[in-house]
């Protein structure tokens, strides 16, 4: 079982939704889906980067979260990604693997900030566990 987080925004196109869905159905954890508004994190030990980045979405199932809040939480989430990968990686995680995983979170936050600026309202973040 995995933790999944996706962002939705006003005027989301069918192409954007399809790209996000493609990330959901890719079975590799290293999938580069942050840039389309999708994050997946395996359940194999706390703490969880996704729950640090978007706690309101886990509390309520969904929440509009301002980009400024996501940007403030991003450093803590990135630290958790690195800590978890070094502690729980099934294969030895090297620096390149960790950077690739952290990039997904950076891209997710950047996308949310861009869509908030374009639409004038924060993205709706949906979390499933």
Tell me the mean pLDDT per 10 residues along the chain, length 129.
89 87 60 80 85 96 97 97 79 78 94 96 92
Cis-peptide, bond into residue 84, ω within 30° of zero: no
Domain ranges of the chain: 2-128
What is the pTM assigned to this prediction? 0.88
């Amino acid at each position: 079982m995995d933790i999944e987080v996706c962002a939705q925004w006003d005027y989301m196109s069918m192409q954007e939704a399809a790209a996000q869905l493609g990330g959901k159905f890719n079975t590799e954890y290293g999938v580069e889906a942050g840039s389309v508004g999708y994050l997946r994190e395996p359940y194999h030990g706390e703490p969880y980067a996704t729950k640090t980045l978007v706690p309101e979405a886990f509390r309520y199932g969904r929440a509009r979260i301002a980009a400024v809040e996501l940007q403030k939480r991003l450093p803590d989430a990135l630290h958790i990604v690195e800590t978890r990968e070094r502690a729980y990686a099934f294969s030895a995680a090297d620096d390149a693997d960790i950077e690739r995983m952290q990039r997904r979170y950076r891209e997710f936050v950047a996308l949310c900030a861009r869509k908030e600026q374009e639409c004038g309202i924060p993205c709706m973040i949906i979390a499933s566990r």
